Amino acid sequence: MTSSPERGSVRVDLNISLDGFATTTDQTPENPMGADWQRLVDAYASTRTFRARVLGDTSGEGTTGVDDRYAAAYFEDVGAEVMGAGMFGLHDFPDDPDWRGWWGDEPPFHCPVFVLTHTPRDSIEMAGGTTFHFVSEPPAAALERAHAAAGGRDVRVGGGITVVRDFLLAGLVDRLHVAIAPILLGRGIRLWDDLRGLENDYRVTVESAPSQVTHVTFRRDH
Amino acid sequence: MTSSPERGSVRVDLNISLDGFATTTDQTPENPMGADWQRLVDAYASTRTFRARVLGDTSGEGTTGVDDRYAAAYFEDVGAEVMGAGMFGLHDFPDDPDWRGWWGDEPPFHCPVFVLTHTPRDSIEMAGGTTFHFVSEPPAAALERAHAAAGGRDVRVGGGITVVRDFLLAGLVDRLHVAIAPILLGRGIRLWDDLRGLENDYRVTVESAPSQVTHVTFRRDH
């Protein structure tokens, strides 16, 4: 046994459309997520794992099978998360010093979360093991901090898409899992732009689900 | 029995990259197809069907399974083909009145082929049942001509990508099969541009192959 744990992998999970868009553009005040977002994440949100882990639904309802297997893997062995200021909500509520994220008193992370922002604030300890830390560092330095907090478990880069792309372009991601919904959004932010040849650094596997979602995974040893 | 046959379906088959590019950009005089094209069509070109039908390889070698099943379907029940002037080669050899296409004396179509061009020329009858006709009509009118020649069998829109996109945007395609290679090309012509919501007019199914190619099919009754 050793007291210096191995570093975990850096992981990303995304839902994109068949035409490569990772964001949606049809939000309205009445439907703040937009209908496109529901269609984009439908297979994931229908899984038993999502219902239990994110919605707190303990009834055991929800799909099992391929989509649920990827949903369960999403939650496995994550010791820390990194996310952008936008995902945490700092772009929507920049002037609220007490903003604590979108996820209520007990966020579904259950680990340290490092929020990338140019205007750091004090850490916030939430129920259930989630603590939000605010760091103004480049991706690689923020990752070091997350690895140290993860204690050998994996670090997830949660989003948003521009943050994920920064990490991919910097070569910092060990495993990228993309769930491709069989829909064409036609607009938004493209995941794949400027990533020509990314597959050369990874083993790529694809698996289709009965939901007609395709799961593509880029993997490399870290 | 009736003397007026039913119309067949209008079908398209394409190979694209994970980031949606249907053309490649790395052609050189030494490698006129480019290395990217080989990678894009690798799974298809490795099938037993492709080797037999396109290369004339009767040894029985080549892959079987998912990719070969789609390759075989590509050749099934096609009564006529429509293609653009570029695919036939008129953009590369505009001044050669005797140009007869890229495919040698016995092209692999074995049916009437309607080449869309602004400068029609006389039809060319080749060995093996292929006759090239040259028509300067819009997509819908060219399709009528192809349907009449197909005698109730299907009409394939062969390419290139801009022609396929014209037919898709005009709502003229009944079945679109796309084989997605697990590579990122980063540049070229995108298949999916301006096709937001295409899935609303179709049933969409996906199937992944051991080659890590994903076969996506848009189908509707014609």
pLDDT digits (tens, 9 = 90+) for B35-78: 999 999 999 999 999 999 888 899 999 999 999 999 999 999 99
| Cβ-defined contact of B186 to A195 (cutoff 8 Å) | yes
pLDDT digits (tens, 9 = 90+) for B111-151: 999 999 999 899 999 999 999 999 999 999 999 999 999 99
Interface membership of A26 toward B (CB under 8 Å): no
Local confidence band at B100 (pLDDT 50, 70, 90 cut-offs)? very high
Interface membership of A186 toward B (CB under 8 Å): yes
Contacts of B26 in chain A (CB under 8 A): none
**pLDDT value of position A121:** 93
**pLDDT value of position B3:** 45
User: Which residues, including other chains, have CB under 8 Å from residue B81's CB and lie 6 or more apart?
Assistant: B109, B111, B112, B113, B114, B146, B155, B156, B157, B158
Contacts of A199 in chain B (CB under 8 A): 18, 182-184
Range of the domain at A123: 10-21+32-219
Q: Which residue of A has its CA nearest to B215?
A: A208
Residue A17: pLDDT over 60: yes
| Cβ-defined contact of A205 to B194 (cutoff 8 Å) | no
| Cβ-defined contact of A18 to B186 (cutoff 8 Å) | no
Interface membership of A183 toward B (CB under 8 Å): yes
**pLDDT value of position B5:** 61
Mean pLDDT over each residue of chain A, to the nearest integer? 94
pLDDT digits (tens, 9 = 90+) for A190-214: 999 999 999 999 999 999 999 999 9
Q: Which residue of B has its CA nearest to A215?
A: B208
Residue B2: pLDDT over 70: no
Q: What's the average model confidence in pLDDT over B181-210?
A: 97
| Cβ-defined contact of A208 to B186 (cutoff 8 Å) | no
**pLDDT value of position A54:** 87
Number of folded domains in chain A?
Answer: 1
| Cβ-defined contact of B192 to A216 (cutoff 8 Å) | no
What's B108's domain CATH number?
3.40.430.10
**pLDDT value of position B1:** 44
Residue B4: pLDDT over 60: no
Residue entry with tokens 């269609």: A39
Local confidence band at A1 (pLDDT 50, 70, 90 cut-offs)? very low
On whether residue B120 sits in a domain, the answer given is yes
Query: Residue type at A195?
Result: L
CA distances (Å), origin B179, targets A4, A213, B40, B208, B220: 46, 15, 9, 9, 18
| Cβ-defined contact of B183 to A192 (cutoff 8 Å) | no
pLDDT digits (tens, 9 = 90+) for A116-173: 999 989 999 999 999 999 999 999 999 999 999 999 999 999 999 999 999 999 999 9
- Residue from A19, A190, A194, A204 to probe the interface with B (highest B Cβ count within 10 Å): A19
On whether residue A42 sits in a domain, the answer given is yes
Cβ density class A163-174: b for 16+ within 10 Å, e for less: bbbebbeeebbb
